[in-house]
Structure 1
Amino acid sequence: MTGQSDSEPLESTGAATVSKSVARRLVFMVTHSNAGGAQEIWSNLAEGFQARGDQVTLAALYPSDESRLKTPEGLLWTHMTERRPHSPFELFRLLKNFVSFLARERPDAVITALPAANILAPIAVMLSGVPTKVITSHHSPSETYAPLLNLIDGLAGTLPSVSDIVAVSNTVARSHRKKPAAYRAKLRTILNALPPRIEAKLGMLASERSQKSSRGQIVIAAGRLVPQKNYPTLIRAAEHLDSNIKIKILGAGPDEVELKALAAQLGVQQKVEFVGFHPRDETLALLAEGDVFVQPSLFEGHSLALIEAAQLGLPLVVSDVPVQVEGISGADGQLCGVVVGVLDHEALARELKALLTDASHYSNYAQRAARLGSEATYDRMFTAYSRLLA
């Protein structure tokens, strides 16, 4: 692959080192405004650039069908249409609205996340005739996209308006190696991180955790109730856990009824609690009440929940897929968490029990997680995006 090396993410030396003399018009665009990882990162970055004096719009192609991400004051969502398109006519109207938005606002740059936004932004810029730079980004591997979307993305990324294509991990970047050469030349890796306010909140919660006189038996998972998160494997693992070990799943989503039915079928309702969706600060407090963080996902990008758990010093247990293994690998290559087979619920149960019953084993992986969390700094991420917008 040409462009930024897979093994060398963009370096940053702190947001303060990036000079900016003129306020820019920036649009941080996602496909939909659902409460999710990509939306969280875009909201965080939008807030950061706004604080530096840029005129920032936080936008989505269409509203969320579920829980809309709550954003800071002064950064309300702007949508290109009132609902997700369900016909070619509605898609055409969305694109027309997007083109009109660009012609009216004339942004200096549009920074996109998620496949549909990545595709439509370069096309809308071309149709608008506005000299707007487009930076697209990928938050999960390309093989998780619909084949047609993946194909069109490969073409859209070669358009002249697209200056850079960001991948949030090296594994995600490598997943695009079959795209055209002109596309690959624009690829850059910028690892995710948490904004200063969240880092400070986690630091306070981690300090409170360290003062506890005893450790509990709570396994925490966090994320939408969707197939990607592979929660059936976690629920099946509960069959093999002692009755004093409790699994708490933070999040909501379309698979809730099915997952609760599985827990009932297996007779583990008393061991598995579905906590539901909570605002971010409440979610962090709930996360801090856990003792082990588990993420059995089929795929991720560079999970914010994983970073949050690491900064709290929770031992990490993840699925054995490349992007997850990279997610728990420190800068020195050391694994800072435990890896288990994707569908191996018995092995998952064994690893959870080992962490919760062996104090030295637990302490080892808690220290590794904290070290991993300390490497994910917001300044580095912010500076890397700032350089792309220079």
Structure 2
Amino acid sequence: MTIDSATRTEGAGGSATSSVRAANPTPHRAIFLVSHSTPGGAQEIWANLAEGLRLRGHAVMLAALYPGDTAQNTAPNTPWTYALERKPSSFGAKLAMAHRLARLFDAFEADVVFTALPAANVLAPIAALLARRPVHVVTSHHTPSNTYNPALNLLDGLTGSLGAVVRIVGVSETVQRSHAGKLAAYRAKLLTIKNALPLEVEAQIAGLAGQRFRDRAAGRQVVAIGRLAYQKNYPVLIRAAVHMPDVTIRIVGEGPDEAALKALARELGVAERVEFLGFHPRKEALNILAGGDVFVQPSLFEGHSLALIEAAKLGLPLVVSDAQVQIEGISAPDGALCGAVAGVHDDRALAREILHLLDDPDHYAAAASRAAALGAAAAYDTMITAYEGLLDRA
């Protein structure tokens, strides 16, 4: 729905995840805002948190500045609300979004607005100043800020320093270090809250993890999940296929680089062993992931990848790039590495790490055990309680 049809809604209980309900004598009114509703990690986390806090008795709205081509799946009680019906194309229309957001904040009588993605992070603090009632803003970063459009990153440093912004959440320490050059008033608000999976997803993973021993006749399979876009660095994985003649690579996702990646696979003669499976809803994607032998994420950058957490909880050995944020992603609380690392552009090293796992049963078993321990450390209750605590401190 759009801002004009948005109504004041109250939080309500529900039986499906009643175990996450926490006693809270002070219900709040919170909006979870992203730039657009296209499926992605930030949208998924915001949808999970909105529904989780609704089940804890808070009134919530899940909102985006404008719709994406497709929309992230949400719970029935937390549908998307949009400030604009389509992505603005003119400068004037972009400026008008701040006024539309202010109207949205007022209509919902929001106490706190949680934001994710650069445009929402920049516009929400301005809208809070234009609103007719006090609104606190908690911005968040799900990838390092130096990967943003430079102009938006500069504006984020300024608007994040405004008084309306009470906290700035990052999903990893590497993400938070990317703000080192911003104003002291900005850096003083930094807080790290790592991602986790909602309980219903954990329950599905627990069931799948117990059934992971599949028919080896299906062949040796590597699985990767994520948009077919520059960030995910899939060319290095496709080039690695050249050095793994008996391994099938299955990639779940869609995106702007699909045609170029398929062309590269054909050029290298590996098209029959690199499967582009397209977009799948989370439940289906998890089934595909559970059918794999190794999870590979060669990304140039991430934040705290949900797909990595899912693979770890399934007990799949993990192979990631040597980007610092990726190394942090596979590090246990004590600093021990729980996965293998290959150079971000080194296809031969990537293939060696994968084949070492597939060829050595003892090495595979040890890697699977380390991955499972890493996954167990990502606790949903810890994450949602940390966000709920920001409601009380706002």
What TM-score bracket applies, with the shorter chain setting the length? over 0.9
Structure 2 residues without counterparts, runs of 5 or longer: 1-18
Report the counterpart of residue 130 of structure 1 in structure 2. 133
Q: How does 1:97-246 map to 2 (within 5 A)?
A: 97-209=100-212, 211-212=213-214, 214=216, 216-242=219-245, 244-246=246-248
1:355 to 354, 357, 367: 357
Structure 1 residues without counterparts, runs of 5 or longer: 1-13
After the TM superposition, which of the residue ranges 198-207 and 214-223 deviates more from structure 2?
214-223
Identity of aligned residues (%): 57
2:340 to 333, 338, 341: 338
Report the counterpart of residue 26 of structure 2 in structure 1. 22
Residues in 1 aligned to 2:114 and 2:20: alpha-carbon distance in whole angstroms: 18
Report the counterpart of residue 15 of structure 2 in structure 1. none
Residues in 1 aligned to 2:320 and 2:367: alpha-carbon distance in whole angstroms: 13
Say if 1:15 and 1:380, in contact at 8 Å, map to a contact too.
no
Secondary structure of 2:231's match?
Answer: helix
Runs of 4+ in 1 over 3 A off after TM superposition: 211-216
Residues in 2 aligned to 1:383 and 1:55: alpha-carbon distance in whole angstroms: 16
1:87 to 74, 81, 90: 90
Say if 2:317 and 2:371, in contact at 8 Å, map to a contact too.
yes
Structure 1 length normalisation: TM-score? Answer: 0.93
Residues in 2 aligned to 1:212 and 1:321: alpha-carbon distance in whole angstroms: 32
In the alignment, residue 32 of structure 1 is paired with which amino acid?
Answer: H
Structure 2 length normalisation: TM-score? Answer: 0.92
Q: Displacement of 1:84 after TM fit?
A: 1.4
User: Per-residue displacement from partner, 1:246-291 (whole Å, max 9, x unpaired)?
Assistant: 0000001111111101111111101100011011100001110000
What is the number of equivalent residue pairs in this alignment?
A: 373
Residues in 2 aligned to 1:247 and 1:264: alpha-carbon distance in whole angstroms: 14
Report the counterpart of residue 326 of structure 2 in structure 1. 324
Say if 2:115 and 2:138, in contact at 8 Å, map to a contact too.
yes
Report the counterpart of residue 52 of structure 1 in structure 2. 56
Residues in 2 aligned to 1:374 and 1:161: alpha-carbon distance in whole angstroms: 36
In the alignment, residue 41 of structure 1 is paired with which amino acid?
Answer: I
In the alignment, residue 282 of structure 2 is paired with which amino acid?
Answer: R
Report the counterpart of residue 68 of structure 2 in structure 1. 64
Matching of residue 34 in structure 1 with residue 34 in structure 2: no
Secondary structure of 2:33's match?
Answer: strand
Residues in 2 aligned to 1:182 and 1:93: alpha-carbon distance in whole angstroms: 27
Say if 2:28 and 2:391, in contact at 8 Å, map to a contact too.
no
After the TM superposition, which of the residue ranges 126-135 and 225-234 deviates more from structure 2?
126-135
Q: CA RMSD in A?
A: 1.3
Residues in 1 aligned to 2:354 and 2:85: alpha-carbon distance in whole angstroms: 44
Secondary structure of 2:316's match?
Answer: coil
Q: Displacement of 1:389 after TM fit?
A: 1.0
User: Per-residue displacement from partner, 1:331-353 (whole Å, max 9, x unpaired)?
Assistant: 11110000000000111111111
Report the counterpart of residue 373 of structure 2 in structure 1. 371
1:270 to 244, 267, 272: 272
Secondary structure of 1:97's match?
Answer: helix
Secondary structure of 1:241's match?
Answer: coil
